[in-house]
Amino acid sequence: MSDEKHFRSSEKIRDFVIGMSDGLTVPFALAAGLSAVATPSLVITAGLAEIAAGSIAMGLGGYLAGRTEIEHYDAEEQREYEEVKHKHEVEIRETKEIFAQYGLSDELQEQIAREMAKKPKEWVDFMMRFELGLERPDKNRAHHSALIIAISYIIGGLIPLSAYFFTSTAEEGLIYSSIITLLCLIVFGLVKSKLTGQPLLKGALRVTLIGAAAAAAAFTIAKMIA
């Protein structure tokens, strides 16, 4: 039970990281690029539109990924049921091969495999995990993934945009937005690294540099075109 909770928790952390990292980076880069040629109100309007579209797109991507995982598991499970029914001896041999990896004797392998074959559901569950390396996904995974990614994207996207609500020029908004966003990227990088077990400084630096590089590129290109 504890392993299952750990697995689902890891999936939620991954969804949060995906949504927040893109939410901080993409709207920040867009706002930086528009700051070279637009007013604060236009930056805000375009930024809010991007956050809305981006959260929907990211959430949909998370939903489709979750559904694909569920459908893949269901298809493999159905195939495994067909095999234990129509290729019984082949599956017995494959089950014995799994136990052989753990050093069990031939006699014990045969005995355990034959006993497992008496309970098709448990046998299939065993083969799904130990032969195919698949864990049964949460049926609500797709919906939860979409929601977490979309919400974290919105939260992340509003952070760089918030500065433009309180400044009179886009250039001034960019200065404050850069300070706020870079600080948030550092904190987010530290939290992300802590949750994923990566070196704290390396993780924080990587996330911050990516966000800064994206914003600098957008601002430079907008300036060149303008």
Question: Mind listing the pLDDT tens digit for each residue in 5-39?
Answer: 444 457 788 888 888 888 888 888 888 888 888 88
- Whether the pLDDT of residue 194 is over 90: the answer is no
Mean of the pLDDT values across residues 203-223? 75
pLDDT attached to residue 223: 66
Provide the whole-model pTM: 0.75
pLDDT of residue 5: 45
Q: What is the CA radius of gyration of the chain?
A: 25
C-beta separation of 124 from 163 below 8 A: no
